[in-house]
Amino acid sequence: PALIGPITGPPLGGFLTTYLSWHWIFWINVPIGLIGLVLVTRCLHAADTRNERPVDVPGLILSAITFAGIMFGFSVISLPAIPTVAGYGSIVVGVIAGLLYLRHAKRTPFPILDPSMFRLPLFRNAIIGGSLFRIGIGAFPFLMPLMLQLTFGLTPFESGLTTFIAAIGAILSKFGAERLYAAFGFPRTLMVTALLGCSFLAINGLFTPAVPHWLLMGALLFGGLTRSFFFTGVNALVFADVDEAHASQATAINAVSQQLSVAAGVAVAGGALEIASNMHGGELVLADFHIAWFVVAAVAICSAIPFMRLPPDAGSDVSGHKIKPIAKPVPATL
């Protein structure tokens, strides 16, 4: 169900932008949100009462300033719509708030985001590897439509009909992901799918308008397939060594890291485009997008490193992967 949005979003948004107005890609969320509110109140039952943790208001404020300041600062530096000094100042404020938050988290019994969770090896590697990989994924919906519209000459609707094929690949992966991880385990499967997924990001840097459209869509299909295989595994590995008492903290940190890494992907891609265009001092050209794809893929491919360090049976209780024991030679009898 979560893939309904990625499938319908690009063609629907492209249709609205091409034939109505770009404003509709924002306004259409209003009726969808209202329908969601009605369905939530009617279909979801009230949760059982339990002992709730107190809300860490100071931690909420400090962490919000940290993430907002750093991400906004990098966005301004990479796409300088306003003076870049504001971006550097925002980053400084975010870093200071982050240091204050770490100090605060050590002193409060219930921090809103508990840094001690990173002592869990599987959780730590899944968050780091997943965040690096999502930088590439965050760049995809930013770079691909722009490249198709500005350099290939496609309309937003044609661009949406091209890019949504990646979501089809993501759906296809769901039919084999469980068997894949059961057969090969988390570390090896995540490492291979990370390398393949990033390779398909880099391939986008080789496409030109002369390339057959079916070949472009085929690469997007297989890229979506491999990336979805990766996400299915890494989202499960996050909770592989987390007990029930800390599940809510793992969920919160995982959700925050996902949003931050996707936003970082846009900042990295925008920065690469800005630097590439400044080098020749003109408008964006196809070569600038090619450079941005290679930069994004180079950053995202580092996601394979954390999984290389894990033992082959890491998270086997979740994946169901069982390593066959090595048969010991039978000693010869005299």
Tell me if 332 is assigned to some domain: no
Final residue of a structural domain among 68, 83, 111: 111
Q: How confident is the model at residue 263, as a pLDDT? A: 85
Tell me: do 102 and 157 sit in the same domain.
no
**pLDDT(239) > 50:** yes
Tell me if 39 is assigned to some domain: no
For residues 273-283, give the mean pLDDT: 83
Tokens found for residue 224: 């979506």
- How far is Cα 108 from Cα 115, in angstroms, rounded to an integer? 12
Amino acid identity at 222: F
Task: With CA atoms as reference, report the closest residue to 310 among 179, 136, 138, 194.
Answer: 194
Tell me: do 259 and 208 sit in the same domain.
yes
Which of 57-71, 77-91, 154-168, 311-325 is predicted most confidently?
57-71
Tell me: do 147 and 106 sit in the same domain.
no
Tell me if 95 is assigned to some domain: yes
Final residue of a structural domain among 111, 128, 144: 111
Tell me if 126 is assigned to some domain: yes
Tokens found for residue 296: 């994004």
Tell me: do 81 and 190 sit in the same domain.
no
Tell me: do 67 and 147 sit in the same domain.
no
Tell me: do 217 and 89 sit in the same domain.
no
How many H-runs (helices) and E-runs (strands) does the chain carry?
15, 0
Tell me: do 192 and 268 sit in the same domain.
yes
Tell me if 252 is assigned to some domain: yes
Q: How confident is the model at residue 49, as a pLDDT? A: 63
Residue 123's CATH number: 1.20.1250.20
**pLDDT(315) > 80:** no
Number of structural domains found in the chain: 2
The CB density around residue 319, as the number of other CB atoms within 10 Å, is 23
Q: How confident is the model at residue 45, as a pLDDT? A: 78
Tell me: do 276 and 238 sit in the same domain.
yes
pLDDT tens digits, 175-218: 887 888 888 888 888 999 999 989 999 999 899 998 888 888 88
Judged by phi (left if over 0) then psi (alpha if -120 to 50, else beta), residue 281 lies in left
**pLDDT(143) > 80:** yes
Tell me if 36 is assigned to some domain: no
Q: Which residues of 118-146 are buried (b: 16+ CB within 10 A; e: fewer)?
A: eebebbebbbbbbbbbbbbbbbbbbbbbb
Tell me: do 198 and 289 sit in the same domain.
yes
Tell me: do 69 and 100 sit in the same domain.
yes
Find the domain containing 194 and state its range: 116-319
The CB density around residue 210, as the number of other CB atoms within 10 Å, is 5
Tell me if 158 is assigned to some domain: yes
Tell me: do 257 and 235 sit in the same domain.
yes
Tell me: do 228 and 276 sit in the same domain.
yes
- How far is Cα 36 from Cα 206, in angstroms, rounded to an integer? 41
Final residue of a structural domain among 111, 129, 151: 111
Tell me if 72 is assigned to some domain: yes
**pLDDT(146) > 60:** yes
For residues 11-32, give the mean pLDDT: 86
Q: Phi and psi of 32, rounded to 5°?
A: -65, -40
**Quick one: pLDDT band at residue 93, thresholds 50, 70, 90?**
very high
